[in-house]
Amino acid sequence: MPEPLEQLRVTLKQRGQSFTKARQIIFAALQDKEPQTMHEIILACRGKVDRASVYRSIAVFEQIGIIQRLQIGWKYKLELSDSFHNHHHHLTCNNCGKTTRLPEDEQLERRLDGLARSQNFVMQGHQLEIQGRCQDCS
């Protein structure tokens, strides 16, 4: 079995969830992709997995940390979480709408952790989106 699928299987098992055909298809639709809307994922699974099942599986994936939900512009989008590809943030162009990754920044991460601590808050995760103009549009 390809290695990422194996990781999916293990993660599901650990949380007492089944490793089903539908979930493998949905997972595949998310792999190596920029964040997608629910609509896009449903389309990607068209004919293979029912709309309702996509919603149900996505909910499971989110609960057990396989995927994460982001706000990109107006609507939320979904992508595999940090365990399945490196932690990162996004740049969104207000003009062309393109979303690109920001390289990981150790200093930024440390700063965020410090800020949370200063509020007696235990940071478990965070999301950052920078909006503006990409090189092509400015």
Partner DNA sequence: CTGCTTGCAAATCTTTTGCATTGAA
Partner DNA sequence: TTCAATGCAAAAGATTTGCAAGCAG
Q: Which of residues 108-127 bind its own copies (CB under 8 A)?
A: 108, 111-112, 115-116, 119-127
Among 71, 80, 87, 99, binds its own copies (CB under 8 A): 71
Among 22, 38, 44, 91, binds its own copies (CB under 8 A): 91
Query: Quick one: which H or E segment has residue 49?
Result: none
Q: 84: Cβ–Cβ under 8 A, 6 or more apart, which residues?
A: 4, 7, 31, 66
List all residues 6 or more positions away from 28 whose beta carbon is below 8 Å from its beta carbon: 5
Cβ within 8 Å of residue 117, ≥6 positions away: 123
Choose the stretch contacting its own copies; rule: CB under 8 A; options: 23-31, 38-46, 47-55, 101-109. Answer: 101-109
Q: How far apart are CA 104 and CA 95, in angstroms?
A: 24
- How far is Cα 137 from Cα 92, in angstroms, rounded to an integer? 12
Binding-site string for DNA from residue 19 to residue 48, where x marks contact by CB under 7 A and - marks none: xxxxx--------------xx--------x
Asked if residue 94 binds DNA (CB under 7 A), the reply is no
- Gyration radius of the chain over CA positions: 17
Least separation in angstroms between residue 88's CB and DNA is: 24
Q: CB under 5 to 8 A by kind: which of DNA, its own copies, none does 53 bind? A: DNA
- Complex with its own copies: residue 43 or 130, whichever CB lies closer: 130
3-state secondary structure at position 29 = helix
The residue type of 35 is P
- Residue nearer to DNA on the CB measure, 25 or 91: 25
Q: Please identify, using beta-carbon distances, which residue of 21 and 132 lies nearer to its own copies.
A: 132
